Amino acid sequence: MPHRPAFLVRCLRCLCLGLLAALLWGCAAKAPIPRPSGREPATLRPYTIKGITYTPLRSAKGFREEGIASWYSPGFHGRLTSCGEIYDQYQMTCAHKLLPMHTKVRVTNLENGRFTELRVNDRGPFVSGRVIDLSLAGAKELGVYARGTAKVRVEVVGDVPGATASGELPGPFYVQVGAFTRRENAEKLFSQIVAAGYAGSRIHYKEIDGTQFFRVHAGTFPTVAAAEEARLRLSSAFEGAFVLAQ
């Protein structure tokens, strides 16, 4: 058995090399770029809040309800809404638990007769008895700002022009996954995003306060809902990813 020690050394060497390769692969694959999937947009799927399950409506046609309206901000200003937009408290938008995203509603304050039209871009309010959450702009328009709440009537008046049958805005849309001051860094990430299956991605140049930025946009997506679905996937690898229109 003169060759057995040499055989064992070779086996141990192969084993060590295999373990090293597995370790290196694990490090390289620690944060892979999520690829596109064909799942239904999150804004159309049932969701559960505080033990109550809500099933979003596929069509808003003929919808009408009365109840208590409230308003939300400034703590939510600048945060992502349920449809993937950045919440801007100065825009005429609102949150509703069931209506399709981007549905246009007429909200009438039954206590003073004032009314206005708003666009649904978020989910809520999740407080018993409340039917709609207004943006700061909407609350001021309706005279709800000072009191905080008011009894209102909510009526669907139509969709945003160009929206799909499910209430989604038309694209194209992108998901921003990075911004760099050096173009070569943006190009490196851009190549990785394209290789992950986002063939419509782009590098978008913009100057902000005298500093030039090369922003990497994953895309493209036909609706905000599709872009939001991609953002949810991509946010695991790119914290702070957000949806934007062309």
* Residue in the block written with tokens 């999937």: 37
* Percent of the chain topping pLDDT 90: 38
Q: Which residues, in sequence order, are CB contacts of 92 under 8 Å at separation 6+? A: 116, 117, 118, 119, 135, 137, 138, 141
Q: Are 101 and 83 in contact (CB under 8 A)?
A: yes
pLDDT tens digits for range 48-94: 988 888 888 887 888 899 999 999 977 888 888 888 788 889 999 99
pLDDT tens digits for range 95-109: 999 998 888 999 999
Positions of E strands within the chain: 47-49, 52-54, 64-71, 93-95, 103-109, 115-122, 130-134, 149-159, 170-180, 202-208, 211-223, 242-245
For the chain, the first-to-last Cα distance in angstroms comes to: 73
Let me know if 246 is exposed, middle or buried by CB neighbors in 10 A (0-12, 13-18, 19+).
exposed
Closest CA to 138 of 152, 156, 159: 152
Closest CA to 231 of 28, 74, 8, 41: 41
pLDDT tens digits for range 174-194: 898 988 999 999 999 999 999
- pTM of this prediction? 0.55
**How many Å apart are CA 60 and CA 46, to the nearest integer?**
16
The DSSP line for 180-225 is ESSHHHHHHHHHHHHHTT-TT-EEEEEEETTEEEEEEEEEEEEEHH
User: Using 50, 70 and 90 to split pLDDT, how confident is the model at 8?
Assistant: very low
* Residue in the block written with tokens 């109550």: 52
The pLDDT value recorded for residue 142 is: 96
